[in-house]
Structure 1
Amino acid sequence: MTVKPCPRNHADACHAADGSVLCVSCIGQAERTLRALPALHQECLLHASPTSRRSNPTKVSGSRTRDHLNLSVLDARYSSLTALESWSQTVAALRKVTAPARSVPRLARFLVQHLEWLLAQPYAAEFADEMESVAAELRSTIDPGSGELRTAIRTCVVDNCSGTISTSLGSGAGARTGPLECSMGHAWEIGEWLNLRHLMEHQRKGADA
């Protein structure tokens, strides 16, 4: 029987485990990552507002937690849900089973149940890499480290507008606190940012089609 190497990057050569494309270490890491995603997805929501941990948790009306919003949290949460849903649909279609409802806990649990089959497929390394990338993105919103800002430049979602929207994805002092504006002057207040995020994603999917 021919022994195949694990296709993922390793400092030393690692052989694929029996019945899998990946080595034993990568198999274990893939399962741990999947099991961790629901908690990471929930935890990063607490960091959507940089002031949330300093505010009175019982305060609702007029709370300052609505004065700030870290868009990187919305991006990370949406990316994780989309990635899990996409892989779950692939498994469901090829194995002729029903995919679960669109929620991170259910999708992650479904993929764990089918993990042995998934990691025996030619795209096993791609799956493992994407799950780790998703987990890393969620963790970066929970612990941004140095707090270095990242900026995303996106096309304005208003029809026939040639402007761009620049979003700083930092936290703390770098988090945006005022209206989000495009370079041509269109603006969105904080309460409209969630809808704007969905419009951006819809626009991106249209461009990829």
Structure 2
Amino acid sequence: MEFHDCPRNHARKLRAASGSVLCDPCIRQVEGNLRTLPGLYQESLHHIAPVSRRMNTTRVSGSRSRDHLNLSALDARSDILAILESWSGLVVEELGTSAPSRSVPQLTRMLLMNVAWLTAQPPAADFADEIEELKAELLRTIDPGPGELDALIRECVMDGCPGVISTSPQNIGAGAKNTIRCSSGHEWEMREWITLRPLMERKRKAADA
């Protein structure tokens, strides 16, 4: 039987598990990370805006209060669905299984059921790394470090607009706290962020090209 080292970064070399690309500790870690994602995803909902936090009665111990719209939480919630769907799509395509519903609990359940197959595939290290980063990203939105508490400043996505989108309190509409506004007056509902975010990414990439 041919043995190889686990491709993930370890303080010391660890042999991969039998039939797997990853070592046993990495497999256990990815399983544990997958199990925590649904709960963290639900908790992150209460950290999007002050109004939703005040309604939340079950906060993670030690989580810090925010006084501005948390775009990072919206980003993290979008990221988790996209990444879980991508890996679930690989399982569906290769194994011919039925696609789960587009929900974090169902997607993680499917990945857990197929974790042995996923960790035996060539991109197993990427799978483990992405699931670990999803957990870390959600934890950062729930309990951010001191340097992550500042309001985010982003360029407006409207063509020719010199304004910026900020999460600071003055840019949350009075009487309608679930809005995002730029300094020039453009306004979006929070639910539109799923559409707004890709536009901002395309604009950033075009500027970098």
Once the 2 structures are TM-superposed, how far is the Cα of residue 73 of structure 1 from its aligned partner? 1.2
Q: Secondary structure at the match of 2:146?
A: coil
**1:64-83 superposed matches below 5 A:** 68-83=68-83
Q: Secondary structure at the match of 2:148?
A: coil
Unaligned runs of 5+ in 2: 58-66, 173-179
Q: Does 1:148 align with 2:148?
A: yes
Letter in 2 for 1:201: R
CA contact (8 A) 1:6 1:14 kept: yes
Counterpart of 2:171 (choices 175, 178, 191) is 178
Once the 2 structures are TM-superposed, how far is the Cα of residue 156 of structure 1 from its aligned partner? 3.1
Q: Does 1:133 align with 2:136?
A: no
Q: Secondary structure at the match of 1:20?
A: coil
Once the 2 structures are TM-superposed, how far is the Cα of residue 46 of structure 1 from its aligned partner? 1.5
Question: Residues of 2 paired with 1:200 and 1:155: CA distance?
Answer: 12
Taking a change above 3 Å as real, the CA distance of residues 50 and 182 of structure 1, as seen in their structure-2 partners, is closer
- 1:22-47, CA deviations, whole angstroms, 9 ceiling, x for partnerless residues? 00000000000001100000011122
Count of equivalent residues: 188
Identical columns (%): 47
Taking a change above 3 Å as real, the CA distance of residues 202 and 123 of structure 1, as seen in their structure-2 partners, is same
Letter in 2 for 1:41: Y
Question: Residues of 1 paired with 2:150 and 2:84: CA distance?
Answer: 24
- 1:41-92, CA deviations, whole angstroms, 9 ceiling, x for partnerless residues? 00111222346555697xxxxxxxxx95311111111111111111101110
> What does residue 10 of structure 1 align with?
10
Once the 2 structures are TM-superposed, how far is the Cα of residue 162 of structure 1 from its aligned partner? 5.1
CA contact (8 A) 1:151 1:166 kept: no
Alignment RMSD (CA, Å):
2.7
Question: Residues of 2 paired with 1:21 and 1:70: CA distance?
Answer: 37
Compute the TM-score of the two structures, normalised by the length of structure 1: 0.78
Question: Residues of 1 paired with 2:151 and 2:171: CA distance?
Answer: 16
CA contact (8 A) 2:163 2:182 kept: yes
Question: Residues of 1 paired with 2:22 and 2:30: CA distance?
Answer: 10
Counterpart of 1:194 (choices 183, 186, 191) is 191
Question: Residues of 1 paired with 2:35 and 2:55: CA distance?
Answer: 30
